[in-house]
Amino acid sequence: MGIALALFATQSGTGDLTGNWVSRTDRHDGTTRDVFFNLKQDNGKLTGSIRLTQFFYKISDSTITPDGFTIVGSMMDGKSERKVTYQGKLVGDELHLSTRNRPDAPLIELVAKRTTPEDGAMPERVPPPALHKVADNGLARTPPMGWNSWNKFAGRVTAEDVRGMADVIASNGMKEAGYVYVNIDDTWEGAKRDAQGNITTNTKFPDMKALADYVHSKGLKIGIYSSPGPNTCAGYEGSYGHEEQDAKTYAAWGIDYLKYDWCGARNLYTDEEMQAVYQKMGDALQKSGRPIVYSLCQYGRNDVWKWGPDVGGNLWRTTGDIRDAWESMTRIGFAQDVLAQYAKVGHWNDPDMLEIGNGGMSDDEYRTHMSLWSILAAPLLAGNDLRAMTPAIKDILLNKEVIAIDQDKDGKQGKRVAQAGDQEVWARPLAGGAQAVALFNRGAQAAKVTVKWADVGLTSPPKQARDLWAHKDVTLTGAEYTVDVPSHGVVLLRVGK
């Protein structure tokens, strides 16, 4: 039968495709990246599902020809539909498939083999709990500061990198400047839970407790990452159905910070159910008995700023992922104005982590990034390789006068107070009646930018300001102040006490 089927298959490219198929790619960390094709062939059509990383698609369309087949998978992600298309053929007892992430992206080829029917099956949906208020954990009284692995290292981060970052933070002045959390993002998780259902680590992170002890020995704190879904965004094991167990594991390891990323939860819950789903981990963290900062990451969906504090959240992402590009950073940063009222001591808007030093922007652009995030009372999580910083980048991340704006104890987020074309003036009220005033030039040419003190709410014009990048006092006269600002640059002032 094998020979007959193989002959038929090579000739037709099809044969009977019914069954559960998996393509496994070795990630070289003791885990595999799996793509499941659960197919049912009937009357010249294919139905079933496609599952990969954080996505679970139902097959919504298919064609079968003598040369092979095409399947289209579709899923709802919040209010929008996601689609994926695979072309394939049966070759012997393998499925040879190809797809593209976008129509103009390179072809991705994969080979799938038959697997057991239950392999890769989606778990059953656990109904979300009834809503209640999770008590404030008393942490993050100022926006969290530290480092996170994702922007620079993505899936390549190792325990050695994390130790290396802790070493640098503890020795180059960053710790004294307030950078405390050393945060591991996605891709630390092991392939399978153990027999008791405990989360495990992969070979890049051989001993999480030892790593946490090491980071603590440097006087720093350590953060970790998970998802309320069965899978994280990179397709690793999530906390779904193990929330309390995982929170206990984190506490036992000595974890101080959790970033909890929606990812695979999108296949089981609607956006309207997010609050209940996040509340579950908020409760679990509090029950764990260890103070753990709770960072919500669901890309600013479902007005998270309105309920983030109620689930015990200390910060919540307000947007999709930042990229190391002027366009991405400014599109995110300059759109945060409308959320100012939601930032409070202990509960922060998070316009995503810093890209400073990753190489895709100029130093002026990175100064704009740092200034804007400080005006926004945003978390300052460096996202670069701290072991290899230019002096200019170090000066940007370590500018204590700018950090003092970000960390102002009143925790009021700044706002845009004036705009003229590419020029914007933002102001942030500070404790004791002072103000941070940022004069931004988003244009392609150097420009003079003016702040009118009345726009900042200062009825009697100030006589003096501190220029926080030049580290100089500036003498002021009159009702406004005009200054040269480089293209894509900023002048950041502290006015008043």
In the sheet that 293-297 helps form, which strands lie side by side, from edge to edge?
348-350, 315-317, 293-297, 257-261, 221-226, 181-183, 145-148, 380-382
**Size of site (CB under 6 A) for ligand GLA:** 9
Give min distance, CB of 322 to ligand GLA, in A. Answer: 8
Give min distance, CB of 370 to ligand GLA, in A. Answer: 19
Is there binding between residue 161 and ligand GLA (CB under 6 A)? Answer: no
- 472 φ, ψ (degrees, to nearest 5): -135, 150
d(CA 399, CA 4): 72
d(CA 353, CA 342): 19
Q: Which is nearer to ligand GLA, 321 or 337 (CB)?
A: 321
The two three-digit tokens of residue 290, written as one number:
């260890």
Residue ranges of E strands in 344-471: 348-350, 380-382, 415-420, 423-429, 435-441, 447-452, 464-467
Instruction: Name the segment binding ligand GLA (CB under 6 A); options: 90-98, 101-109, 230-238, 467-475.
Output: 230-238
Is there binding between residue 237 and ligand GLA (CB under 6 A)? Answer: no
CA quadruple 147, 153, 157, 162: dihedral, nearest 10? -30
Give min distance, CB of 302 to ligand GLA, in A. Answer: 15
Residues of this chain, 298-337, that bind ligand GLA according to CB under 6 A: 321
Of 61, 167, 321, 363, which residue is the catalytic one? Answer: 321
Contact predicate 89/13, CB 8 Å: yes
DSSP 407: T
The two three-digit tokens of residue 471, written as one number:
């580290």
Give min distance, CB of 303 to ligand GLA, in A. Answer: 18
The maximal CA–CA distance of the chain, rounded, in angstroms, is: 93
Of 261, 324, 364, 408, which residue is the catalytic one? Answer: 261
Q: Which is nearer to ligand GLA, 237 or 261 (CB)?
A: 261
For residues 112-140, b (16+ Cβ closer than 10 Å) or e, as one string?
beebeeeebeeeeeeebeeeeebebbeeb
Give min distance, CB of 185 to ligand GLA, in A. Answer: 5
Q: Which is nearer to ligand GLA, 185 or 324 (CB)?
A: 185
Is there binding between residue 258 and ligand GLA (CB under 6 A)? Answer: no
Q: Which of 428, 347, 341 is nearest to 140 (CA)?
A: 347
Q: For residue 277, what are the CA distances in angstroms to 53, 263, 267, 315, 339?
A: 20, 12, 13, 16, 23
Instruction: Name the segment binding ligand GLA (CB under 6 A); options: 66-74, 90-98, 113-121, 229-237.
Output: 229-237
- 252 φ, ψ (degrees, to nearest 5): -65, -35
d(CA 169, CA 389): 12
Q: Which is nearer to ligand GLA, 64 or 84 (CB)?
A: 84
Which of 237, 243, 246, 261 touches ligand GLA by CB under 6 A? 261
Give min distance, CB of 252 to ligand GLA, in A. Answer: 23
Q: Which is nearer to ligand GLA, 128 or 235 (CB)?
A: 235
Instruction: Name the segment binding ligand GLA (CB under 6 A); options: 76-84, 228-236, 241-249, 326-334.
Output: 228-236
Which of 55, 150, 305, 334 touches ligand GLA by CB under 6 A? 150
321 belongs to the catalytic site: yes
Which of 234, 258, 274, 382 touches ligand GLA by CB under 6 A? 234
Is there binding between residue 297 and ligand GLA (CB under 6 A)? Answer: yes
For residues 173 to 192, the per-residue mask of contacts with ligand GLA, x marking binding by CB under 6 A and - elsewhere, is ------------xx------
Q: Which is nearer to ligand GLA, 153 or 426 (CB)?
A: 153
Q: Which helix (H) or strand (E) holds 176?
A: helix 174-177
Residue entry with tokens 């208020």: 133
DSSP 234: T
Is there binding between residue 233 and ligand GLA (CB under 6 A)? Answer: yes
Residues in the chain: 497
Give min distance, CB of 250 to ligand GLA, in A. Answer: 16
* Binding interface with ligand GLA (CB under 6 A): 150, 185-186, 232-234, 261, 297, 321
Known catalytic residues are: 261, 321
